[in-house]
Amino acid sequence: MESRRHSRSSFIATRASSVCRLLSLRLLLLHLPLCLAPWLHSASCRSLLQEGDAAVDTIAMVTPDADAALAREALQLRFNSFVQRYGKVYSSPEEHAYRMEVFKENLRLIEESNNYETYELEVTEFTDLTWEEFQKHFLGAKQDCSATTGSYVRRLGNPTLPARRDWREEGIVSPVKNQGHCGSCWTFSTTGGLEAAHAQATGSMVLLSEQQLLDCAGGFDNLGCSGGLPSHAYEYIIYAGGLDTEEAYPYKAKSEKCHFNPNAIGAKVFDVVNITEGAEDDILEAVALVQPVTVAFQVVDGFRFYKSGVYSSPTCKSGPETVNHAVLAVGYDVDKESGTPYWIIKNSWGPNWGNHGYFYIERNKNMCGIAACASYPVVTKGAAQSA
């Protein structure tokens, strides 16, 4: 009998603690509507939103056996926090309810992955989108990169490579940009590579126009918001005689009529080096000793929630015909805890995604096809031929 009383008391105490935590969270989230733009990114609002997420996480941990109503309310509070954080607006109560269900399923994916993977996922602005919606709006169509195998590859022999490289430390990597709802990653990978090469050659950082590539490079087998290849984009820039500055030809996240202005050119390309398909050692050599390299890989579901750690996937493919996202390799290193070698990659989903807009992906395994479509621009006449 005494044991029953003790068990019942423990249950009541646990339930009371859970309810108290939930009530505290309700009071906290009453303040969230105040955190609207432009105050959303203030230090106080960021702190409040972090407390809200932490409190809901705590509820999820301390009440694994909570009834459906309590779990549903905790989900609702967390979803409301997400909506406030990212300024989400839905067209109807029905869409709001649907997006919360999508959010719940994605949250389950995130939590399951974090239970067994060495890298960490988190709630991002994409957590209310289905995988199909995300592919449609943020990834390009699958590209066959076999055409990027060049007639020559810049080889420097067998040099001694540094143990690590991070071109951000040299000040030649431009800030992380945001492609928005357009599968224009290839334009950002292209401009990122050219901005770095131009800064390295001239000592001056000039931000370049992704919109010019969207509008004008279609004749080089690029498809605007439906995808393209940096190697083809560099060929277009050679043909056009240069790429306008971002200021002169700003980004609109949609294809329009070409308005290239030869008087607003910010950088030129004289040649393009296409690294042999799958030759990850050649990419390493180029990143180590030459400059950042544009690469592409296959994004599979889950990656869009990346937070930190060295990413790898058993489900992605490594062939050139499956890549669907172009990015920029700006360095490499080795994880100190696991000893896993990785690439340092600049993405184009904004600075609030991942590790300040960057991610790490496992190196030396052609992970997700990262070595299938590598290239970089030459901005000095005769440089490629003389190497």
The full DSSP string for 84-131 is HHHT---SSHHHHHHHHHHHHHHHHHHHHHHHH-SSEE---TTTTS-H
Q: Which helix (H) or strand (E) segment is 12 a member of? A: helix 2-29
182, 347, 366, 368: the active-site residue: 347
Side-chain half-sphere CA neighbours of 230 within 13 A: 34
Three-state DSSP class for residue 59: helix
Please state whether beta strands 358-362 and 310-311 pair in parallel, antiparallel, or not at all (unpaired): parallel
The 10 Å CB-count burial string (b at 16+, else e) for 309-331 is bbbbbeebbbbbebbbbbbbbbb
145, 185, 316, 368: the active-site residue: 185
- Reply yes or no on whether 181 is catalytic: no
Rounded CA-CA distance 367/105 in Å is: 26
**DSSP β-bridge partners for residue 293:** 329
Q: Which residues contact 179 (CB under 8 A, 6 or more apart)?
A: 138, 185, 187, 188, 210, 253, 348, 349
- Reply yes or no on whether 185 is catalytic: yes
The beta-strand segments (E) located in the chain are 120-121, 165-166, 243-244, 265-267, 271-274, 293-297, 306-308, 310-311, 325-334, 341-346, 358-362, 375-378
106, 225, 232, 325: the active-site residue: 325
Rounded CA-CA distance 217/223 in Å is: 8
The full DSSP string for 201-263 is HHS----B-HHHHHHH-GGGT--GGG---HHHHHHHHHHHT-EEBTTTS---SS-------GG
Residue numbers annotated as active site: 185, 325, 347
